[in-house]
């Protein structure tokens, strides 16, 4: 992944990490570069990954939702490219795919969003290029950081927060135990 001033170091993991890359390869050369960047970043963190392809950007969130509900992936990388055309379809695809990924994230899916939304193919090529902007690598890094946060805060909850009512006795007005 190309290093910038605000890039975070990749997290390290003490247990294996498994990530699903979901890619819409409508613009194949752009998709290949996005995947190359994502794979290199995941390999740099010793994360295992699988790749599935779907027809377009609108199919990426449902594919992630299926995997999130029915598999054991720790995180997901969403990849694709939407280039503005002559109709409002561009706005629908950009907004709906992004919104769906955000909603999945709020449900607990660890997703790095690497779906490019650009004006032309030249912008897409620069953003997808692993030696330039490397948005595929950035999306993979985002997923890894969310996985690390989930593991950090998802550990044992014992001793934190409210106690279970079954774990202590409550006295009635006369001093006898009611729980």
Q: What is the DSSP annotation of 44-88?
A: HTT-EEEEEE-SSGGGHHHHHHHHHHHS--SEEEEEEEEE--SST
What does the pLDDT read at residue 57?
98
Is 174 part of a structural domain of the chain?
A: no
Q: What SS3 state is found at 12? A: coil
What does the pLDDT read at residue 35?
98
Task: Name residues whose C-beta falls within 8 Å of residue 104's C-beta, 6 or more positions apart in sequence.
Answer: 61, 64, 65, 68, 111
Q: Mean pLDDT for each consecutive 10-residue tract of the chain (179 residues)?
A: 70 97 98 98 98 98 98 98 95 97 98 98 98 98 98 69 52 58
Is 173 part of a structural domain of the chain?
A: no
- CATH number at 45 reads 3.40.50.960
Q: What does the chain come to in residues? A: 179
Is 3 part of a structural domain of the chain?
A: no
Is 25 part of a structural domain of the chain?
A: yes
What does the pLDDT read at residue 7?
83
How far is the C-alpha of 78 from the C-alpha of 117, rounded, in Å? 13
Is 29 part of a structural domain of the chain?
A: yes
- Structural domain range at position 50: 18-167
What does the pLDDT read at residue 157?
53
Degrees (nearest 5) of the Cα angle 96, 99, 103? Answer: 135
What does the pLDDT read at residue 178?
54
H or E element that contains 18: strand 18-23
How far is the C-alpha of 67 from the C-alpha of 75, rounded, in Å? 10
What does the pLDDT read at residue 127?
98
Let me know if 145 is a catalytic residue: no
Task: Name residues whose C-beta falls within 8 Å of residue 161's C-beta, 6 or more positions apart in sequence.
Answer: none
Indicate which residue of 89, 102, 119, 149 is catalytic.
Answer: 89
Is 12 part of a structural domain of the chain?
A: no
Nearest residue to 37 via CA among 55, 61, 21: 21
Report the DSSP beta bridge partners of residue 128.
Answer: none
For the chain, how many structural domains are there in total? 1
How far is the C-alpha of 138 from the C-alpha of 41, rounded, in Å? 8
Is 4 part of a structural domain of the chain?
A: no
Is 129 part of a structural domain of the chain?
A: yes
């Amino acid at each position: 992944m190309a290093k910038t001033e605000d890039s975070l170091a990749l997290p390290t993991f003490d247990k294996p990490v498994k990530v699903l890359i979901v890619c819409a390869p409508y613009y194949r050369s752009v998709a290949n570069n996005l995947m190359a960047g994502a794979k290199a970043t995941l390999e740099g963190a010793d994360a295992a990954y699988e790749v599935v392809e779907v027809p377009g950007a609108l199919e990426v969130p449902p594919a992630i939702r299926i995997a999130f509900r029915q598999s054991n992936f720790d995180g997901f990388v969403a990849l694709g490219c939407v280039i503005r055309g002559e109709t409002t379809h561009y706005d629908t695809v950009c907004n709906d795919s992004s919104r769906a990924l955000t909603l999945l994230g709020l449900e607990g899916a660890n997703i790095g969003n690497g779906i490019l939304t650009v004006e032309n193919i030249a912008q897409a090529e620069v953003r997808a290029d692993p030696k330039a902007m490397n948005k595929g690598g950035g999306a993979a890094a985002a997923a890894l950081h969310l996985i690390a946060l989930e593991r950090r805060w998802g550990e044992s909850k014992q001793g934190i927060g409210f106690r279970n009512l079954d774990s202590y006795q409550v006295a009635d007005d006369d001093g006898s135990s009611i729980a």
